[in-house]
A and B are shown apart, each in its own frame.
Chain A
Amino acid sequence: MLLGTIFAVLAYFATAVFVVGLLYRIVVYARTPAPLKIPTTPAPVKPSGVVIRMAKEVVFFESLFKANKWTWLFGWVFHAALLLVVMRHLRYFTEPVWSWVKWVQPFGLYASFAMLAGLVALWLRRFVVERIRYISGPSDHLMLLLLIGIAATGLLMKYVVRTDIVALKAFVLGLIYFDWQPIPNDAVLLIHLGLVLALMIVFPFSKLLHAPGVFFSPGRNQADNPREKRHLAPWAAALDAGRQKAGGK
Chain B
Amino acid sequence: MADYDIPSITAPIDIPALKKGAMEHLSPFAAAPAHQEALGFPGELVDDWQSKAIDKFAELLRRSRALKVYMDSCVKCGACTDKCHYFLGSGDPKNMPVARQDLMRKVYRRNFTWAGKLVPWLVDAEDLTEELLDDWYTYFHQCSQCRRCSVFCPYGIDTAEVSMAAREIMDHIGKGQKYCNEIIGKVHKIGNNLGLPEAALRDTLDGLEEDIEEDTGVQVKLPVNVKGAEILLVTPSADFFAEPHVDGLIGYAKVFHQAGVSWTLSSYASEAANFALFIGSYEQMKLIAERIRKAAEDLGVKRIVFGECGHAWRVAYSFLNTLAGPFDFLDPAYPIPQHICEFTYDLIERGELTLDKSANDHMTLTYHDSCNVARGSRMGSSPGGQFEIPRAIIRACCNNFVDMAADTIREKTFCCGGGGGLLTDDLLEIRTKGAAPRMRALQEVVKDHGVTHMAAICAICKSQFAKVMPAYGFDMDCVVSLHQLVSNAIVLDGQTTSHSEEMSTE
Contact = CB atoms under 8 A, between A and B. Distances in A.
Contacts of A48: none
Contacts of B124: 137-139
A210 B65 contact: no
Contacts of A2: none
Contacts of B64: 32-35
A137 B123 contact: yes
A61 interface: yes
A142 interface: yes
A216 B78 contact: no
Interface centre among A142, A216, A249 (most CB of B within 10 A): A216
Given A130-B17, A131-B18, A63 B156 contact: yes
B115 A139 contact: yes
Interface centre among A32, A38, A68, A226 (most CB of B within 10 A): A38
Q: How many A residues touch the partner, as a band?
A: 35 or more
A172 B62 CA distance: 40
A53 to B, nearest CB: 10
A45 to B, nearest CB: 6
B68 A207 contact: no
Contacts of B383: 41-45, 224
A217 B66 CA distance: 6
Contacts of A235: 63
A63 B326 CA distance: 34
Contacts of A71: 77-79
Interface centre among B65, B68, B69, B155 (most CB of A within 10 A): B69
A40 B150 CA distance: 7
B335 interface: yes
A35 B64 CA distance: 7
Given A213-B72, A219-B66, A41 B297 contact: no
Nearest to A139: B123
B76 A140 contact: yes
B156 A219 contact: yes
Nearest to B124: A137
B115 A236 contact: no
Interface in B96-121: 96, 98-99, 102, 113-115, 121
Interface string B262-292: 0000000000000000000011001000100
Nearest to A217: B156
B411 A226 contact: no
14 contacts: A32-B62, A32-B64, A34-B66, A35-B64, A40-B158, A42-B378, A44-B383, A63-B151, A63-B153, A131-B18, A134-B18, A137-B124, A236-B286, A249-B329
